[in-house]
Structure 1
Amino acid sequence: MEDTMAEKDSAPHPFVGMWVTADGHIRQELLPDGRYDEARGRRRSAYTGSYTVTGDHIDYVDDTGFTATGDVRDGVLYHEHLVLYREGEAPTG
Protein backbone atom coordinates (compact mmCIF):
# COMPACT_ATOMS: atom_id res chain seq x y z
CA MET A 1 0.00 0.00 0.00
CA GLU A 2 1.30 3.44 -0.93
CA ASP A 3 1.61 6.15 1.67
CA THR A 4 1.72 9.43 -0.28
CA MET A 5 0.75 11.82 2.51
CA ALA A 6 -0.79 11.99 5.91
CA GLU A 7 -4.53 11.65 6.23
CA LYS A 8 -6.37 14.69 7.51
CA ASP A 9 -6.36 14.78 11.32
CA SER A 10 -3.64 12.11 11.59
CA ALA A 11 0.06 12.36 12.35
CA PRO A 12 2.36 13.00 9.39
CA HIS A 13 4.44 10.15 8.00
CA PRO A 14 7.64 9.64 10.03
CA PHE A 15 9.82 10.57 7.02
CA VAL A 16 8.26 14.04 6.75
CA GLY A 17 10.67 16.83 7.65
CA MET A 18 14.08 18.19 6.74
CA TRP A 19 16.92 15.90 5.67
CA VAL A 20 20.44 17.25 5.12
CA THR A 21 23.82 16.03 3.93
CA ALA A 22 26.58 15.94 6.59
CA ASP A 23 28.07 19.16 5.19
CA GLY A 24 24.64 20.85 5.07
CA HIS A 25 25.04 21.68 1.37
CA ILE A 26 21.95 19.73 0.28
CA ARG A 27 18.71 20.13 2.21
CA GLN A 28 15.69 18.07 1.21
CA GLU A 29 12.38 18.77 2.87
CA LEU A 30 9.73 16.08 2.61
CA LEU A 31 6.41 17.84 3.05
CA PRO A 32 3.30 16.20 4.54
CA ASP A 33 1.32 16.73 1.32
CA GLY A 34 3.54 14.34 -0.69
CA ARG A 35 5.74 17.07 -2.14
CA TYR A 36 9.45 17.71 -1.64
CA ASP A 37 11.62 20.79 -1.95
CA GLU A 38 15.38 20.41 -2.28
CA ALA A 39 17.88 23.23 -1.80
CA ARG A 40 21.52 23.04 -2.89
CA GLY A 41 23.89 25.53 -1.32
CA ARG A 42 22.31 28.95 -1.66
CA ARG A 43 19.98 27.78 -4.40
CA ARG A 44 16.57 27.40 -2.80
CA SER A 45 14.05 25.07 -4.45
CA ALA A 46 16.72 23.71 -6.81
CA TYR A 47 14.52 20.64 -7.25
CA THR A 48 10.84 20.23 -6.43
CA GLY A 49 8.39 17.46 -7.06
CA SER A 50 6.33 14.72 -5.49
CA TYR A 51 7.21 11.57 -3.60
CA THR A 52 5.53 8.38 -2.50
CA VAL A 53 6.57 6.10 0.33
CA THR A 54 6.26 2.31 0.33
CA GLY A 55 7.66 0.84 3.52
CA ASP A 56 11.17 2.30 3.83
CA HIS A 57 11.42 3.11 0.11
CA ILE A 58 10.78 6.53 -1.44
CA ASP A 59 10.03 7.16 -5.13
CA TYR A 60 10.56 10.73 -6.32
CA VAL A 61 9.19 12.43 -9.43
CA ASP A 62 10.72 15.84 -10.09
CA ASP A 63 8.45 18.50 -11.58
CA THR A 64 10.51 18.20 -14.79
CA GLY A 65 9.71 14.46 -14.99
CA PHE A 66 13.06 13.18 -13.70
CA THR A 67 12.68 10.21 -11.35
CA ALA A 68 14.83 9.05 -8.44
CA THR A 69 14.61 6.70 -5.49
CA GLY A 70 15.67 6.58 -1.88
CA ASP A 71 15.65 4.23 1.07
CA VAL A 72 15.64 4.99 4.80
CA ARG A 73 17.80 2.60 6.80
CA ASP A 74 18.59 3.08 10.48
CA GLY A 75 17.31 6.66 10.38
CA VAL A 76 19.49 7.64 7.40
CA LEU A 77 18.08 8.53 3.96
CA TYR A 78 20.08 7.06 1.08
CA HIS A 79 18.85 9.05 -1.93
CA GLU A 80 20.63 7.93 -5.11
CA HIS A 81 24.29 8.93 -4.44
CA LEU A 82 23.42 11.16 -1.46
CA VAL A 83 23.39 10.31 2.24
CA LEU A 84 21.03 12.54 4.20
CA TYR A 85 20.35 12.81 7.92
CA ARG A 86 17.54 14.31 9.90
CA GLU A 87 18.25 17.99 10.46
CA GLY A 88 20.35 18.28 13.61
CA GLU A 89 21.40 14.61 13.54
CA ALA A 90 24.18 14.70 10.93
CA PRO A 91 27.52 13.35 12.13
CA THR A 92 30.23 15.89 12.85
CA GLY A 93 33.95 15.73 12.37
Structure 2
Amino acid sequence: MKKEHRNAHPYVGMWVTADGHIRHELLPNGRYDEARGNRKSAYQGSYTMKGDHIEYVDDTGFTADGDFIDGVLYHAGMVLNREEHREGDQK
Protein backbone atom coordinates (compact mmCIF):
# COMPACT_ATOMS: atom_id res chain seq x y z
CA MET A 1 0.00 0.00 0.00
CA LYS A 2 1.33 3.41 -0.93
CA LYS A 3 1.67 5.73 2.08
CA GLU A 4 0.49 9.05 0.61
CA HIS A 5 -0.06 10.54 4.07
CA ARG A 6 3.67 10.50 4.85
CA ASN A 7 4.24 13.84 3.08
CA ALA A 8 0.66 15.08 3.42
CA HIS A 9 -0.24 18.58 4.48
CA PRO A 10 -0.82 18.80 8.26
CA TYR A 11 -4.50 19.67 7.71
CA VAL A 12 -5.22 16.45 5.80
CA GLY A 13 -7.86 14.39 7.58
CA MET A 14 -11.47 14.54 8.71
CA TRP A 15 -13.03 17.82 9.91
CA VAL A 16 -16.46 17.71 11.55
CA THR A 17 -19.06 20.19 12.83
CA ALA A 18 -19.92 19.91 16.54
CA ASP A 19 -23.23 18.19 15.73
CA GLY A 20 -21.54 15.77 13.29
CA HIS A 21 -23.86 16.81 10.46
CA ILE A 22 -21.04 18.02 8.18
CA ARG A 23 -18.06 15.71 7.71
CA HIS A 24 -15.36 17.22 5.54
CA GLU A 25 -12.44 14.95 4.58
CA LEU A 26 -9.30 16.55 3.13
CA LEU A 27 -7.47 13.84 1.23
CA PRO A 28 -3.69 13.79 0.75
CA ASN A 29 -4.05 13.88 -3.05
CA GLY A 30 -5.54 17.41 -3.06
CA ARG A 31 -9.15 16.23 -3.22
CA TYR A 32 -11.92 16.55 -0.65
CA ASP A 33 -15.11 14.64 0.08
CA GLU A 34 -17.88 16.24 2.13
CA ALA A 35 -20.76 14.33 3.70
CA ARG A 36 -23.90 16.02 4.97
CA GLY A 37 -26.09 14.11 7.37
CA ASN A 38 -26.79 10.68 5.87
CA ARG A 39 -25.69 11.85 2.42
CA LYS A 40 -22.17 10.56 1.81
CA SER A 41 -20.08 12.37 -0.80
CA ALA A 42 -22.58 15.22 -1.03
CA TYR A 43 -19.80 17.40 -2.43
CA GLN A 44 -16.47 16.42 -3.92
CA GLY A 45 -13.71 18.39 -5.57
CA SER A 46 -10.17 19.67 -5.25
CA TYR A 47 -8.48 22.02 -2.83
CA THR A 48 -5.29 24.05 -2.63
CA MET A 49 -3.58 25.42 0.46
CA LYS A 50 -1.71 28.69 0.95
CA GLY A 51 -0.50 28.76 4.53
CA ASP A 52 -3.60 28.46 6.71
CA HIS A 53 -6.00 29.41 3.88
CA ILE A 54 -7.81 26.78 1.81
CA GLU A 55 -9.45 27.24 -1.60
CA TYR A 56 -12.00 24.70 -2.84
CA VAL A 57 -13.35 23.96 -6.31
CA ASP A 58 -16.05 21.31 -6.34
CA ASP A 59 -16.57 19.05 -9.33
CA THR A 60 -19.44 21.23 -10.60
CA GLY A 61 -17.17 24.32 -10.63
CA PHE A 62 -18.52 25.96 -7.44
CA THR A 63 -15.79 27.66 -5.41
CA ALA A 64 -15.43 28.31 -1.69
CA ASP A 65 -12.69 29.01 0.79
CA GLY A 66 -11.84 28.75 4.44
CA ASP A 67 -9.22 29.42 7.07
CA PHE A 68 -7.58 27.34 9.76
CA ILE A 69 -7.28 29.34 12.97
CA ASP A 70 -5.93 27.79 16.17
CA GLY A 71 -6.67 24.25 14.96
CA VAL A 72 -10.23 25.02 13.81
CA LEU A 73 -11.47 25.16 10.20
CA TYR A 74 -13.78 28.08 9.43
CA HIS A 75 -15.46 27.31 6.10
CA ALA A 76 -18.57 28.82 4.50
CA GLY A 77 -20.07 29.88 7.84
CA MET A 78 -19.32 26.53 9.44
CA VAL A 79 -16.92 25.71 12.27
CA LEU A 80 -15.24 22.33 11.93
CA ASN A 81 -12.87 20.57 14.31
CA ARG A 82 -10.46 17.79 13.48
CA GLU A 83 -11.95 14.41 14.20
CA GLU A 84 -9.73 12.41 16.52
CA HIS A 85 -10.02 8.64 16.48
CA ARG A 86 -9.57 6.95 19.83
CA GLU A 87 -8.41 3.40 20.27
CA GLY A 88 -11.41 1.11 20.13
CA ASP A 89 -13.51 3.45 17.94
CA GLN A 90 -15.15 1.74 15.01
CA LYS A 91 -15.69 3.29 11.61
- TM-score, normalization by structure 1: 0.83
Amino acid in structure 2 at the alignment position of 1:83: V
Root-mean-square deviation (Å): 1.7
Instruction: Provide the secondary structure at the position in 2 that maps to 1:33.
Output: coil
Deviation at 1:88, TM superposition (A): 3.4
Counterpart of 2:64 (choices 64, 68, 75) is: 68
Aligned residues: 82
State the one-letter code of the partner of 1:37.
Answer: D
Aligned residues: percent identity?
72
Greater helix proportion: 2
Q: Which runs of 4+ in 1 moved over 6 A?
A: none
Contact persistence 2:30–2:48 (CA under 8 A): yes
- TM-score relative to the length of structure 2: 0.85
Report 1:43-82 matches (<5 A): 43-82=39-78
Stretches of structure 2 lacking an aligned partner (at least 5 in a row): 86-91
Matched, 1:15 2:11: yes
Shift of 1:9: 8.5
